[in-house]
Amino acid sequence: MNYDEPTQFGSIGLMLALRGPLDLDAATLSGFVIVLLYMRGPIDLVLGAIPDVAQASVAFGRIAALSNGISAHAEADPAAPGEAGLAESIELRDVRYSFGGPGGAGGGFELGPLSVTLAKGETLFIVGENGSGKTTLIKLLLGLYTPTSGQLLLDGEPIGPAQAGAYGELFSAVFSDYFLFEELPRSDPESLDRARSYLKRLEIDHKVDVTETAFSTTDLSTGQRKRLALVHAYLEQRPIMMFDEWAADQDPTFRRVFYTELLPDLKRQGKTVIVVSHDDRYFGVADRIVRLREGQLVRDESVAPPAMQTAV
């Protein structure tokens, strides 16, 4: 919105036309014209700022609503479910999730109905073709999606909005479209030593170091950034770790290291691990494999001795 020239000169013309009827002398009229000309700039600034002020007001309102929602979740259940990594099982019971409306209306996608139980200390591989629903399934397991129907349960207790924030603290995740934070999740001396050890093990210590609070750089190749994201997930020290196609951007050497060294090491630490993978040559690393096809669970079987039960 601008106080443009036609408006300005139209106002001056109107005053000239009304000079006679209003009995305005030359001094008054010239004063009006001078004031009007000098006011154009400030008026333009004020009018131009109105849309920005309106957008800022909407943005602040949304930030306030989000902040209040986070605070409500944090205060609702201060004793976080599984706070000390004590969760024995996570279950999706008769869960269905739809994009595009119930039943996949409007050409959408629907996952389920399906039931899956994840046991503490288990290494679960989720496999299937692109578009089969793997990412949707892990987001349901992590509580990032709310089921269209069915329940998400922790140790047999339903997870509702009041518990969602604390439930999310059980997980460290590296998604295929991850964001890499420079800040360290922990900065105590023991964590800094652990970070340097992981950097060396993943062969990026020659490019990245840790300061007291952050990685020295994240300006790396795609595969190296993925390895640094893994270090970040390690440092969070949470009981459940999820990797969405982590090895897809790695060369064969680090792909082998991930499956044959890093995942077994996490299992020895007592971590529960969820892996989305296409690397069928390494499926033997899993305790169980869940296979999806077009949103349906078509295979759920143990690779190692059974560690849990699954109802479909």
Domain borders along the chain are: 5-76, 89-302
Beta-carbon contacts of residue 80 (< 8 Å; ≥ 6 apart): 166, 167, 169
Helix (H, G, I), strand (E, B) or coil at 59: helix
**Each residue of 130-189: pLDDT tens digit?**
889 999 999 999 999 999 999 999 999 999 888 888 899 999 999 988 888 888 888 788
Q: What is the pLDDT of residue 80?
A: 45
Range in 20-29, 126-135, 261-270, 289-298 with the lowest mean pLDDT: 20-29
Q: For residues 291 and 229, give the distance between their C-alpha atoms in angstroms, rounded to a whole number.
A: 26
- DSSP-derived 3-state class of residue 23: coil
What is the structure's pLDDT at 107? 57
Q: What confidence tens digit (pLDDT) does each residue in 35-86 have? A: 767 777 777 787 778 888 888 888 888 887 766 665 555 454 444 444 444 5
Number of Cβ atoms within 10 Å of the Cβ of 222: 9
Q: What is the pLDDT of residues 210-264, one digit of tens each?
A: 888 889 888 888 889 999 999 999 999 899 999 999 988 888 888 999 999 999 9
- What residue type is 131 in one-letter code? G
Instruction: Residues 89-302: name the CATH superfamily.
Output: P-loop containing nucleotide triphosphate hydrolases (3.40.50.300)
Structure letter (DSSP) for residue 250:
S
Average pLDDT of every residue of the chain? 81
- Quick one: what percent of the chain has pLDDT higher than 90? 37
Distance CA 55, CA 204 (A): 43
Q: What are the strands, taking DSSP E only, across the chain?
A: 89-98, 110-119, 123-128, 149-154, 157-158, 171-174, 240-244, 272-276, 288-293, 296-302
Determine the Cα–Cα distance for residues 98 and 107; give it in Å rounded to an integer.
11
Tell whether the torsion through CA atoms of 19, 22, 24 and 30 is positive or negative: negative
pLDDT, position 45? 80
Cα 282-283-289 angle, rounded to 5 deg: 160
Tell how strand 296-302 and strand 149-154 pair up.
unpaired
pLDDT digits (tens, 9 = 90+) for 78-91: 444 444 445 789 99
Quote the CA–CA distance of 176 and 91 in Å, as a whole number: 24
φ and ψ of 4, to 5 deg: -80, 175
Averaged over 24-43, what is the pLDDT?
A: 71
Spatial separation of the C-alpha atoms in residues 83 and 168, rounded to whole Å: 10
| Alpha-carbon dihedral sign for residues 23, 28, 32, 33 | positive
- In angstroms, the CA 111 to CA 200 distance is 40
Contact 192, 212 (CB under 8 A): yes
